[in-house]
Chain A
Amino acid sequence: MTAPKSDLPQGTLDLLILKVVALGSIHGYAIAQRLEQVSRGVVRVPEGSLYPALHRLENRGLLAADWKETETGREAKFYRLTGKGRKQLETEAASWQRLIDAVALILGMADGGAR
């Protein structure tokens, strides 16, 4: 529980938000929670940056938002992915995967040697 949490690498918050929102219409607090749960508490989601990021993504047309009632009967702003957002998610996820592969390759070099 007291394992040190890492900060998110620059620019990944948008990608993670898009991914979480892609799973279904969801409000800001639930996004923060989902990110925290899914990353098993390893990643510290900066709540202070979450909302600016949501508004930025909405402004860029990657997310759309509606006010709906939650199960507890309160009104909350629910975000959902637009078509443009889905495309953005795909390209960003792909480039993130490429980066991970490249970094893993470089880090694994010592074991395999220079062949």
Chain B
Amino acid sequence: MNWWQRLWRRNKMEEQLEKELRFHLDEHVNQLIAEGHAPDLAQRSARLALGGPEQVKEKCRDARGTRWLEDLLQDFRYALRTLRRRPGFAAVAILTLALGSAATTVMFTVINGVLLKPLAYPEADRLVTLHGKTESMVSSGASPTLSFRTIKAPAALWDP
């Protein structure tokens, strides 16, 4: 909707620009004729005074700051036309984009779930893993090599 509104406004702005410059030219011609110039000569010198109408319009568009939007629309339409003409290329491009964003989304979801989100326990950052070690073996988790007494030691000991 917004896209159409802008397009519509652009047409209106172009119309007004045309009307404004036309008014200027006509006024100038009228004045020159009133001063006694021949109509065709007046027409010519008024046009010369203003400069090339397309050039002036282009400069006005630049001044309005809507040029980028017009260029963008033009590029967009050109891209659509080109894609429609080469459906094979379009399919490959779309597939590549789809695969790319899918892969990125999957990676982010995994990393977010595994690494970034805090664990669902209070003070999750204070959880510790205990490893027991004897001369013959290293084990982790609820190790039978860790004596109950050691685990019962003051919590401050386990605080990282």
B97 contacts A by Cβ under 8 Å: no
**Interface 1/0s, chain A 67-80, versus B by CB < 8 A?**
10000001111000
A96 at the interface (CB under 8 A from B): no
With A29-B27, A29-B28 known as contacts, the answer to whether A51 contacts B56 (CB < 8 A) is yes
Q: Digit string of A47-68 for contact with B (CB within 8 Å is 1, else 0)?
A: 1110111011001000000010
Does B77 sit at the interface, judged by CB under 8 A? no
- Flag if B27 contacts A77 (CB, 8 Å): no
Q: B34 at the A/B interface (Cβ < 8 Å)?
A: no
- For B64, the chain A residues whose CB sits under 8 A away are 55-56, 59
Closest to B25 in A: A29
B24 an interface residue at 8 Å Cβ cutoff?
yes
Judged by DSSP, the binding face of A is helix
B-side residues, CB < 8 A to A, are 16, 19-21, 23-24, 26-28, 49-52, 55-56, 59-60, 62-65
Closest approach, in angstroms, between the C-beta of B9 and any C-beta of chain A? Answer: 14
Q: Are A55 and B63 in contact (CB under 8 A)?
A: yes
Known: A52-B63, A56-B63. A29 touches B51 (CB 8 A): no
Chain A residue, CB-CB nearest to B53: A48
A27 within 8 A of B: yes
With CB as the reference atom, state the residue of chain B lying closest to A76. B23
24 contacts between A and B (CB under 8 A): A28-B24, A29-B23, A47-B24, A47-B51, A48-B50, A48-B51, A48-B55, A48-B59, A51-B21, A51-B56, A52-B59, A52-B60, A53-B63, A55-B64, A56-B63, A56-B64, A59-B63, A59-B64, A74-B26, A75-B23, A76-B20, A76-B23, A77-B20, A77-B23
Most chain-A Cβ atoms within 10 A of its Cβ — which of B21, B27, B49?
B27
- The contact size tier of chain A is 10 to 19
Closest A residue to B57 by CB, please name it: A51
Q: B20: which of A28, A32, A47, A56 is its contact (CB, 8 Å)?
A: A28
CA A56 to CA B23, docked complex, whole Å? 19
**Chain A neighbourhood of B24, CB < 8 A:** 28-29, 32, 47, 51
Most B CB contacts (10 A, CB to CB) among A29, A53, A74 go to: A29
Shortest Cβ distance from A32 into chain B, in angstroms? 8
